[in-house]
């Protein structure tokens, strides 16, 4: 049994750790524990609760208002792992600079990123967004349609990214993409980037943007992008969505061809 003297000796260290990592503890509570508890108590998944909030507060057909409403939900109600407004402005700026015609999103979740991307597309452009979870894809479809985008502009593809990517050309008519936004499992980033390469789905000069490369992080993806000779790589430092005290960043890759 630990004596009171030893316990008191460790108290300053414990307090220091709690203060230093308080923002991460808050993230753990809001993003994991509180969401899990509300799911069990209500019997309604968090993303469905967010959509009900959208229906009550968002202006249909106005993508910017849909996004700001989701931001209000995530700041004031429950955390959603979306790209968020801070990093979202970086994505919107890159879209405006590139004006891509063919856009691919990996990781739709509840549709936040898809609405953000679709709102920045030039006329006649097309977005294919991939989600492996059918329940999340169903919510995303409703959010995207609520924002005013039909299937001609945004196609939601349900299935694991490693299975969808090889059939994008044949089944979905995506011969090559000008802009890719990755916001799915961070361990999948490198695998899926190499799949895009091997199936020649990256157009010359294509831009690949990957979220959360600093937190929770995608070190192998970054190492490959910087060393393989196929990309010019830049990391845009920002903060984690809805947690300004937690550092994060977006990776911007410009495809230059085979190294």
Taken in order of first residue, the domains within the chain and their CATH numbers are 1-43 (no CATH), 84-255 (3.40.50.150)
Return the percentage of the chain with pLDDT > 90, whole number. 85
pLDDT of residue 179: 98
pLDDT of residue 163: 97
pLDDT of residue 82: 93
On the question of a cis peptide bond just before residue 216, with omega within 30 degrees of 0, the verdict is yes
pLDDT of residue 23: 85
pLDDT of residue 17: 58
pLDDT of residue 191: 98
Residues with pLDDT less than 70, the chain: 1-18, 258-259
- Rounded to a whole number of angstroms, the CA Rg of the chain reads 20
Residue numbers annotated as active site: 183, 186, 211-212, 241
| Residue 150, CA distances (Å) to 118, 122, 176, 195 in order | 10, 15, 21, 28
89 neighbors 67 (Cβ within 8 angstroms): no
251 neighbors 233 (Cβ within 8 angstroms): yes
Nearest in space to 118 (alpha carbons), one of 86, 153, 85, 90: 153
């Amino acid at each position: 049994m630990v004596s009171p003297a030893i316990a008191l000796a460790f108290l300053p260290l414990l307090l220091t750790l709690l203060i230093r990592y308080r923002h991460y503890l808050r993230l753990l509570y809001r993003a994991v524990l509180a969401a899990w508890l509300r799911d069990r108590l209500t019997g309604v998944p968090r993303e469905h609760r967010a959509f009900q909030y959208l229906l009550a507060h968002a202006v249909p057909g106005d993508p910017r208002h849909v996004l700001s409403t989701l931001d209000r939900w995530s700041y004031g109600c429950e955390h959603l792992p979306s790209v968020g407004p801070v990093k979202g402005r970086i994505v919107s700026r890159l879209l405006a600079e590139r004006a891509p015609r063919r856009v691919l999103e990996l990781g739709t979740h509840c549709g936040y990123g898809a609405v953000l991307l679709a709102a920045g597309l030039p006329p006649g452009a097309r977005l294919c967004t991939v989600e492996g979870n059918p329940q999340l894809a169903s919510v995303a479809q409703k959010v995207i349609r609520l924002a005013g985008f039909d299937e001609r502009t945004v196609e939601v593809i349900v299935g694991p990214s490693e299975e969808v990517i090889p059939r994008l050309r044949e089944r979905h008519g995506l011969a090559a993409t000008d802009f890719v936004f990755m916001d799915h499992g961070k361990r999948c980033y490198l695998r899926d980037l190499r799949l895009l390469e091997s199936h020649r789905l990256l157009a010359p000069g294509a831009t690949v943007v990957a979220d959360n490369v600093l937190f929770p992080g995608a070190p192998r993806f970054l190492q490959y992008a910087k060393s393989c000779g196929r990309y010019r790589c830049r990391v845009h430092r920002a903060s984690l969505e809805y947690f300004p005290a937690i550092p994060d960043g977006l990776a911007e890759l410009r495809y230059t061809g085979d190294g």
